[in-house]
Amino acid sequence: MSHHRHMLHPHPQNTPPPTMAVCAMLHCASNRRWQVDFTLIDALDRVYLPPATSSQSTDGLWQSTCFEIFIGLPNTCAYIELNASPSGQWASYQFTSYRARDVAQDHQLRPYIKQRRGTARHFALQVVFTLPARLCGSDATNADSYAVGLAAVIAARDGSLSYWALHHASARPDFHHAASRVLPIATVG
């Protein structure tokens, strides 16, 4: 798979600083091993980054700065949500359809999270994870097998939140909307 930089766009309801940008790069080594590199550009003096803590599953990360990955599973309405915080905390959820959570599968996808500051104004977060084999059926190597949405919630130091995504499919920020998963990913086993 080629590695392309994807710019995330603020939701129209948001008014982030004009020089602020969020981008992501997705790498798939196979249909199971994935890596997403998020970069927050020209905003660190205005953005709240949660302090580092132990890497553990934690709900509610979207209430502060958090980077999110949504993966639509092949030939189904099911999808996975993975949240990664600059704190090192993470959350993963599986849904059988729009916002219909399969609670038994919560926190099964355990990512490796690494952060780095390139300069005083740039922040990068790398998220590496492996999809469970049960989610990678025989059809997972077909073209456009996965539909991916990349997103971010950015908390300003004043407490306001802005919502960023490859594509915003609704009038209100909603990363779960299937039409927000616009990046087709074909992988090889």
Per-residue pLDDT at 94: 94
Q: Would you say 123 and 117 are in contact if contact means Cβ atoms under 8 Å apart? A: yes
Higher pLDDT, 187 or 164: 164
**Model pLDDT for residues 80-110, shown as the tens digit of each residue:** 999 999 999 999 999 999 999 998 888 888 9
- What does DSSP say about strands 112-119 and 122-130: parallel, antiparallel, or unpaired? antiparallel
**Model pLDDT for residues 109-157, shown as the tens digit of each residue:** 899 999 877 677 889 999 999 988 777 755 444 444 789 999 999 999 9
Structural domain boundaries in the chain: 5-185
Which amino acid does the sequence have at 154?
Answer: I
Kindly report the CATH number that applies to the domain delimited by 5-185: 2.60.40
Q: Enter the pTM of the model.
A: 0.91
Least confident of 17-21, 123-127, 168-172, 174-178: 17-21
**In sequence order, what DSSP letters do the residues of 40-95 get, joined into one string?**
EES-TTTB--PPP----B-TTGGGSSEEEEEEEPTTSS-EEEEEE-TTS-EEEEEE
How far is 48 from 46, CA to CA, in rounded Å? 7
Residue 29 has pLDDT above 80, yes or no: no
- What is the H or E stretch that residue 37 is in? strand 33-41
